[in-house]
């Protein structure tokens, strides 16, 4: 866990939005609850990653 960098977590967050994009896009047409839910979930996850990354940055400074 100590080798995970803050930037890795943020890159995971960005990647989550890229993965969410086709799901969100398709849900505007076929309205599938599953794709909509997955897409929204990934966006919500990406919104949390900056705060997770912040924790890793502060852990790094504490050590």
Partner 1 sequence: MEVPITLFTWVAAISPIIVLLALLVYWQWGVAEAAPIGLAVALVAGFTIFDGSLPLLAGELAKGIWGGISVTAVVVPAILIFEVTNEAKAFESFRRGMQQFSPNELLQVLMIGWVFASFLQGVTGFGVPVAIVAPLLVGIGVKRFWAVAVPVIGHAWATTFGTLAVAWEALVLQAALSGDLLLSTAVWAGLFTWAMDLTAGVAICWFYAGRQGVKQGLVAVILISSLHGGGQLILSQFNQVLCNFLVSSAGLILIYLLGKTLYAKPYRFVHSNLMDRSSASGDAEDAPLPLTLHQAFLPYYTLTGVTLFVLLVPPVKQALSFLKVGLPFPETVTGYGFVNPAVALYAPITVFTHAGVFLTLASLVGYYYFKSKHVMRTDSMKRILARTLDKAAPATIAVILLIAMSKVMGGTGQVLVLAEGTARVTGAYYALFAPFIGVLGAFMTSSNMASNILFGSFQQTMADLLNLNPAVILGAQTGGGAIGNVLCPSNVLLGTTTAGILGREGEILKKLIPLGLAVAAACGVIALLFS
The residues of the shown chain that bind partner 1, judged by CB under 8 A, are: 5-8, 10-11, 13-14, 17-18, 20-21, 24-25, 27-29, 31, 36, 39-40, 43, 46-51, 53-54
47 or 59, CB closer to partner 1? 47
C-beta atoms surrounding 9 within 10 Å: 19
3 or 31, CB closer to partner 1? 31
d(CA 7, CA 29): 34
Q: How far is the CB of 28 from partner 1 (least distance, A)?
A: 4
Contact 16, 49 (CB under 8 A): yes
């Amino acid at each position: 866990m100590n080798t995970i960098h803050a930037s890795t977590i943020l890159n995971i967050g960005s990647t989550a939005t890229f993965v969410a994009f086709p799901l969100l896009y398709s849900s505007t047409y076929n309205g599938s609850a599953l794709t909509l839910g997955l897409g929204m979930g990934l966006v919500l996850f990406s919104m949390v990653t900056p705060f997770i990354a912040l924790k890793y940055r502060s852990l790094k400074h504490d050590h």
